Amino acid sequence: MPISFTPPSATSVEAVHHASAAAGNVEATSNAIDILNEVLDGTSKYERILLRAAAGAGKSYALKRMVADAVAHPRSTRVGVTAFANKQIFPLAEALGIALGKERVCLYVSKGQIANVSDSLLAAATVTIDYKSIPKEIEVVLGTSHMLGLTSRLLKARFGVQGNDPLFDVLFVDEAWQLPLHRYRKVERLAPLVVGVGDVGQLPPLDPGQNPWRGDPGYNPYRAWPTAYEGDAQTWAVDLPSVWRPTAEQLPLWRAFYGDWDRLDCVAAPGDRSTTLPPMTGDSAEVWAQVATGTPTLLEVDGLEEPEAADIDMPLIGVLEDLLADLLEGEFLIHQKRYDAAGAPESRVVISSNDPSGDPLISVLATRNQAVDDATEMVERLIARFKLPEGVIRASTVDSWQGQTNRITVAIHPLSGAFQLDEFNSAFGRLAVTSTRATHGLLMLARAGLDDLLATAPARPGTPLGEPGTRQLPRQTHQRILRCFARGTLEVSAKGDS
């Protein structure tokens, strides 16, 4: 029986695109810069500025703009830039070095990480493993929160900072919602003003509902540090109201993950991105044609043999491998418009799967380690079978793919094969990361039965983030997300034949 996809039941509301959408982020960043300058001028007393971003909002551009303004201020001598991980710091150091000049930007990195520094980063910025080698006239110092926190006294000595005086005039925290509160405590006093920029929809350091800290139910050292300052009078916050990553057709799904925002627009307009598929027949032709529309697509598979476990599902992986093989056997093309810094279209680019460039064309994402191991083996088989060049397809865990972008996402739904909702498989952030990596298409696979699972799952106690009722309302949250997908069912036999 041919697969029939039903369109999303979530209704899309009006949106603006191109320069009109990008202007919203420019305005929000400009407002944040105004507050930054007021604090440096001494006319405002804020201690923190937060730029809340959605996935693919161009937050790194906003952060670089704010750093440049901070170092240009006459009362600013030196600023710091930190984040939880080197994979977040390294690209930022390179970008700032290119923008400001190698002599003004220094990456302070541990001896164990120096081998991972690329030649392009070494060319763009000053890089050192020795605090004594940091130029005293340097204006921007970058390092992980571990590095800056551990060596803060040495850094103060290097720059002649006395006692409790701050090391920096401003401390910028990239991927702020990935930095746990206990790590923030190690660096917060390095500057009188902290600017945090990040995606509030990414996975928190630990489930915000958990509190391993005994004695104070209002304090959790493992949750993202900005959550400790919600409503704080010394904190100024703003949302970046537009995203650059998704197709216009994906915007309702993005909005579902950021439902408490006043608005969310996207730079890409309808028709700006498309995919040309190779000749295919049967179920694969139906599935990939639906994915190529840009609308998020959920394919449920019914009739499979029972899995070994929810995260060890070789029958479902087999279906996915067959679908991908039909797509990868021929050449497919990715079409996209390029935009200038203001969001205006400049040119149209076509990228072939025979000669890929830029972000990966296909990323296969799974939530648990065993599932991603199976997905990785599948990807390796496909690469060998079709002699695919680097950049066509890769596999990853959802957690390690945070902050990354690809053209087409193929993922196993976190609830596929589950018998109940637990703290891991129903995590709102994990599904958000899975669903917001793609610029062109999203295909989510699951065993049939998601609706039944969500209809019968028991409520979980507690208070949610941005939801009424019991904590996270995993049933209602997932049901709301599923309404943003086009949905179809693939019937197979017990042996996996369609």
Which residue is it, tokens 């067959």? 322
**What's the 3-state SS for 401-458?**
HCCCCEEEEEEECCCCCCCCCCCCCCCHHHHHHHHCCEEEEEEEEEECCHHHHHHHCC
Residue 308 CA to residue 315 CA, distance in Å, equals 9
More confident residue, 275 or 398: 275
CB burial readout 293-312, b (16+ within 10 A) else e: bbbbbbbbbebbeebeebbe
Which residue is it, tokens 């498309």? 274
pLDDT recorded at residue 470 = 37
More confident residue, 133 or 478: 133
pLDDT of residue 153 exceeding 50, the answer is yes
Domain positions in the chain are 18-243, 270-491
More confident residue, 207 or 373: 373
pLDDT recorded at residue 356 = 97
Residue 115 CA to its chain's centroid (Å):
26
CB 258 within 8 A of CB 54: yes
For the stretch 230-241, pLDDT in tens is 889 999 999 999
pLDDT of residue 219 exceeding 80, the answer is no
For the stretch 103-120, pLDDT in tens is 999 999 999 999 999 999
Q: What is the mean pLDDT of residues 83-102?
A: 96
Spatial neighbors of 168 by CB under 8 A, at least 6 apart, are 78, 79, 80, 141, 190, 191
pLDDT recorded at residue 465 = 42
pLDDT recorded at residue 463 = 40
pLDDT recorded at residue 262 = 84
User: Taking all residues of the chain, what is their mean pLDDT, rounded to a whole number?
Assistant: 90
On the question of a common fold for 18-243 and 270-491, the answer reads: yes
Query: 426: closest CA among 404, 459, 463, 469?
Result: 459
Q: Please, which residues bridge with residue 438 across strands?
A: 406
Query: 152: closest CA among 140, 170, 164?
Result: 164
Is CATH 3.40.50 correct for 270-491? Answer: yes
Residue 28 CA to residue 270 CA, distance in Å, equals 25
Q: What is the mean pLDDT of residues 157-182?
A: 95
For the stretch 183-214, pLDDT in tens is 999 999 999 999 999 998 877 776 555 666 66
Q: What is the mean pLDDT of residues 236-263?
A: 92
Query: 486: closest CA among 1, 10, 2?
Result: 10
What does CATH list as the number for 18-243?
A: 3.40.50.300
Q: What percent of the chain has pLDDT over 70?
A: 92
CA-CA distances (angstroms) from residue 417 to 245, 269, 307, 372, 453? 30, 36, 8, 16, 9
pLDDT recorded at residue 208 = 55
Measured torsion, CA atoms of residues 251, 208, 409, 373, in degrees rounded to the nearest 10: -170
More confident residue, 236 or 477: 236
What tokens does 5 get?
């996809």
Does the pTM surpass 0.95? The reply is no
pLDDT recorded at residue 480 = 86
Residue 196 CA to residue 171 CA, distance in Å, equals 8
Number of helices (H), then strands (E), belonging to the chain: the values are: 14, 19
Q: What is the mean pLDDT of residues 338-357?
A: 96
pLDDT recorded at residue 474 = 63
